[in-house]
Amino acid sequence: MSVVVNIKHKKETKIGYKFLVARANFENLYVGIQDEAFCIDEYKGDEDIRGLYFVLFSKEKFHRGFGFKVDEDYNIELVLNYPCTKRDVLIFYKFINDYCINFDITTFTEEGEEHSLEDIPKLQDEKIEFNKKLVRDELKSGLTIFGAIYPITLDDDFILGIRYLEPDKALNAFANYLDKLQHPLYYFAKPLLYESNKRDKYIAKYALTKDVPSIFPTSTYLPFGYDAKFKDNILSWQVVVVEILKSKKQEFQIHTEMSYDEFCKVINLSKCPKFDKKHMLVTVNDGVLLKIAKYNVKKAQEKMIEWLCDYRELGQAPVQIKFTKDFVTDDGIKCYIFKYKKTLFSKWWLGIVSDSGTFSEFKEYNPETEINAALEIINLLKSFWQREAEKLEKKESNK
């Protein structure tokens, strides 16, 4: 539900982005544009903003705000979405009043009915009274409210807390709830979609930045604004943890990438602070990165042992195996180095687990040359996969 107001200029008036920002500042409002996940973002487009939908909201309290749109003839449309707070209603009608006075406009249209500026006090009182009852009696747990900053899914505790309040107190509680969740300005973790090597199939990745508190989903889903065609065509969900390099502005270092399920298991997602019905607050700090690193080493060691057990390789599990170090090659390949023994009294041999594969040449391990030895194996594996790809390409071309 929403209320739509249209304001028509007496003559063509080219309303652009600079004017919108100036008008928002005059009203003590922030202005932004929503992304595909309905999170607020800074507008970085052209001065001509016709056809774009902006959100304006109070600088003091972060509730829902209201929508602003300029049509092809530079007339404007304002949208107040329900349920909303008392402050949302007041800033909505104040903006209408001040805008009309600025352009010497005496009337506006609300839901197809013409009104004068003198009607505004009555209209805003009606909206406030309606939302008091709407918030108390109609809101349900699990409903997603598109706040000014990001979506919020109402949780059970909030709904139970307002159900038996007086209508005006319920509306105040709703306003406080929205502001409390949005004012810290957390990062809303939304999936980034990448094409896979299979046609019309995608890999979804959540990118989390080290030490940045993030609103993270308790289960994977596509936000409402995404194209529905992606929903059933996602092959896997991943989590990528990055760190902004202090020495180089806006350059990132990837710490790790793992499946969504593995990430949730390692950080014990259910023990993280709750944000709303569908999300927890996750902060990847040094302690979390250490847990992830230990988990990745454990998984890599399991892969190394599995490879060694193959009858075509060592043919058995090593009697001893130890992780020595990991590194990333210049072209971004992650590699874990292990040393292992076939028998208790044999020498240590070197093996690797990498993005290019798992392998050992059954050569003696030397701590002084282990990285160079690992790089030689990686190059060997890369050559092997390149030849395999060429064979496949040749086979496909001959069909």
346 falls within a domain: yes
Q: How many domains does the chain have?
A: 3
| Shared domain check, 121 and 12 | yes
Distance CA 196, CA 32 (A): 32
CA-based angle 215:150:144, to the nearest 5? 90
Strands 252-259, 234-244: pairing kind: antiparallel
| Shared domain check, 337 and 272 | no
Q: What tens-digit pLDDT sequence spans the chain (399 residues)?
A: 889 999 998 887 888 999 999 999 999 999 999 988 899 999 999 999 999 999 999 999 999 999 999 998 899 999 999 999 999 999 999 999 999 999 999 999 999 899 999 999 999 999 999 999 999 989 999 999 999 999 999 999 999 999 889 999 999 999 999 999 998 889 999 998 888 877 778 889 999 998 899 999 999 998 887 877 777 888 899 999 888 776 655 677 777 888 999 999 999 999 999 999 999 999 999 999 899 889 999 999 999 999 999 998 889 999 999 999 998 888 888 899 999 999 988 999 999 998 888 999 999 999 999 999 999 998 888 888 788 767 776 766 665
144 falls within a domain: no
| Shared domain check, 24 and 113 | yes
Question: Which pTM was predicted?
Answer: 0.82
| Shared domain check, 326 and 279 | no
- What is the Cα 181 distance to its own chain's centre? 16
| Shared domain check, 76 and 8 | yes
| Shared domain check, 265 and 366 | no
| Shared domain check, 262 and 235 | yes
Domain boundary among 254, 284, 314: 284
Q: Do 327 and 335 meet the contact criterion of CB atoms below 8 Å apart?
A: yes
| Shared domain check, 7 and 119 | yes
165 falls within a domain: no
Q: Assign 312 to helix, strand or coil.
A: coil
Q: Do 210 and 176 meet the contact criterion of CB atoms below 8 Å apart?
A: no
Q: Do 313 and 289 meet the contact criterion of CB atoms below 8 Å apart?
A: no
Per DSSP, 364 falls in state B
Distance CA 212, CA 285 (A): 8
Distance CA 190, CA 216 (A): 8
232 falls within a domain: yes
Distance CA 292, CA 270 (A): 16
Distance CA 148, CA 167 (A): 23
261 falls within a domain: yes
| Shared domain check, 28 and 111 | yes
Distance CA 23, CA 29 (A): 8
| Shared domain check, 313 and 258 | no
Domain boundary among 111, 132, 153: 132
- Domain membership of residue 307 as a residue range: 302-396
Distance CA 258, CA 242 (A): 12
Q: Do 6 and 77 meet the contact criterion of CB atoms below 8 Å apart?
A: yes
169 falls within a domain: no
| Shared domain check, 359 and 266 | no
Burial class of residue 72 in the structure, from the number of CB atoms within 10 Å of its CB (0-12 exposed, 13-18 middle, 19+ buried): exposed
Domain boundary among 132, 152, 178: 132
387 falls within a domain: yes
Residue 397: the pLDDT is 66
390 falls within a domain: yes
| Shared domain check, 86 and 10 | yes
